[in-house]
């Protein structure tokens, strides 16, 4: 665990860290034309980088959780295939709906709800999903950068609250079961809490609904920890400042649709003569040191959750529902 603690002290950096300026006028974060251009610029850069496996070609268009995941992934693939991506298929994002809130000052952000060409192979419309991208901008002289990219079926999207002019509303942290700024820590605390005990963060008991990224994930960790000849240790951390700060849209039912990030460490230690598991090409491409008996992985996770409004449903209140999650390996250390 000493290695975990040392790794945990490291702070991820990403381009375009946001700062707050002094403007007070409440205006839409972007015009719809600006939002459409930001989406196009991101898609163009994404395709160039994916074709060449060159993280530098998209570095100025990604930040936060997506930036960390994207840049590490491209670095790993470039190490394995220096000549680029021979199987590259251009990403196309269409049928865009822009959820743009009004903001005072900076940073500003909006969400693009789009259709992609990546999930309807064979004409099976049942597999069709919506791609949700969060774009953030730290100032008038900075580029729009994508900080989250998550997918949901259209039927899973909530109804969003809008004002009289059709602009999206931001989630009101004072009325939510968990304020957006506390959600990353609440999730990390939940994952670190022994079964049967309520997860608390800053004195707030937080309930998360059962699902693949809560109860099922903890169950898979438990199974992994029971392997003969190997020990597994996990450390989960909040990631909620700078370019990783959460953003949330208000839903019609008074809740929030919140995008947030988190960081997760996994340490595997094998007994003498027992091989380490999951030491694949992607891990080796990002690894420092030599994995003889210990392998430490660091991942960044991007997720979106439905956070209910405050209520009286049990001691912990209504449950937070994780709707979608994407994680990516960002570093590995062997010893």
The answer on pLDDT for 104 being more than 60 is: yes
pLDDT at 194: 73
**What contacts 125, CB < 8 A, 6 or more positions away?**
none
CA distance 335 to 269: 9
Per-residue confidence band for 310, with pLDDT thresholds at 50, 70 and 90 = confident
- Could you tell me the maximum CA-CA distance found in the chain, to the nearest angstrom? 67
What number is the average pLDDT over the span 239-257? 97
Of the candidate ranges 36-50, 184-198, 211-225, 254-268, the one whose mean pLDDT is the lowest: 184-198
> What does the DSSP assignment read for 270-300?
E-TTPPPS---HHHHHHEEE--SSEEEEEEE
pLDDT at 22: 43
Residues 13-60 have pLDDT tens digits of: 333 334 344 467 899 999 999 999 999 999 999 999 999 999 999 999
Residues 130-147 have pLDDT tens digits of: 999 999 999 999 999 999
**What contacts 41, CB < 8 A, 6 or more positions away?**
61, 143, 144
Burial 256-268 (b: 16+ CB within 10 A, else e): bbbbbbbbbbbbb
CA distance 44 to 1: 42
- Identify the CA nearest to 331 among candidates 282, 290, 261: 282
Pairing mode, if any, of strands 230-239 and 247-250?
Answer: unpaired
Tokens encoding 156: 């899973």
The answer on pLDDT for 264 being more than 50 is: yes
pLDDT at 205: 58
Check residue 253 and report its DSSP letter: T
What number is the average pLDDT over the span 208-229? 94
Residues 77-101 have pLDDT tens digits of: 999 999 999 999 999 999 999 999 9
Adjacent-strand bridge partners of 28: 102
Q: HSE (CB half, 13 Å, CA atoms) of 330?
A: 26
**Global model pTM greater than 0.85:** yes
Per-residue confidence band for 318, with pLDDT thresholds at 50, 70 and 90 = confident
Per-residue confidence band for 207, with pLDDT thresholds at 50, 70 and 90 = confident
Strands (E), the chain: 26-28, 93-99, 102-104, 108-116, 130-137, 145-152, 199-201, 204-206, 230-239, 247-250, 256-270, 287-289, 294-307, 321-334
pLDDT at 311: 74
pLDDT at 201: 66
What number is the average pLDDT over the span 254-263? 97
Q: What is the mean pLDDT of the chain?
A: 89
CA distance 244 to 148: 9
Proportion of the chain above pLDDT 90, given as a percent:
80
pLDDT at 313: 55
């Amino acid at each position: 665990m000493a290695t975990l603690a040392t790794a945990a002290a490291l702070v991820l950096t990403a381009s375009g860290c946001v700062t707050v300026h002094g403007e007070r006028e409440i205006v839409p974060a972007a015009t719809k034309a600006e939002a459409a251009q930001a989406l196009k610029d991101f898609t163009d850069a994404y395709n160039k980088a994916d074709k060449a496996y060159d993280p530098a070609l998209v570095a100025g268009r990604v930040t936060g959780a997506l930036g960390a995941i994207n840049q590490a992934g491209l670095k790993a693939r470039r190490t394995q295939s220096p000549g680029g991506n021979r199987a590259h298929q251009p990403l196309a994002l269409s049928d865009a709906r822009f959820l743009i809130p009004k903001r005072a000052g900076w940073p500003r952000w909006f969400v693009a709800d789009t259709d992609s060409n990546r999930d309807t192979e064979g004409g099976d419309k049942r597999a069709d999903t919506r791609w949700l991208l969060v774009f953030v901008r730290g100032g008038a002289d900075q580029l729009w950068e994508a900080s989250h990219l998550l997918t949901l079926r259209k039927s899973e999207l909530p109804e969003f609250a809008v004002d009289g002019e059709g602009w999206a509303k931001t989630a009101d942290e004072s009325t939510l079961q968990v304020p957006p700024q506390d959600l990353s820590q609440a999730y990390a605390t939940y994952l670190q809490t022994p079964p049967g005990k309520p997860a608390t963060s800053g004195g707030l008991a937080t309930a998360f609904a059962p699902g693949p990224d809560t109860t099922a994930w903890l169950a898979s960790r438990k199974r992994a920890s029971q392997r003969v000849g190997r020990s597994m240790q996990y450390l989960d951390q909040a990631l909620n400042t700078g370019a990783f700060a959460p953003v949330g849209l208000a839903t019609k039912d008074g809740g929030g649709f919140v995008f947030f990030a988190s960081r997760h460490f996994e340490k595997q230690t094998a007994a003498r003569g027992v091989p380490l598991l999951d030491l694949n090409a992607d891990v080796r491409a990002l690894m420092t040191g030599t994995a003889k008996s210990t392998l430490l992985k660091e991942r960044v996770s991007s997720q979106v959750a439905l956070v209910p409004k405050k209520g009286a449903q049990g001691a912990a209140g209504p449950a937070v529902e994780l709707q979608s999650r994407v994680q990516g390996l960002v570093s590995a250390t062997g010893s």
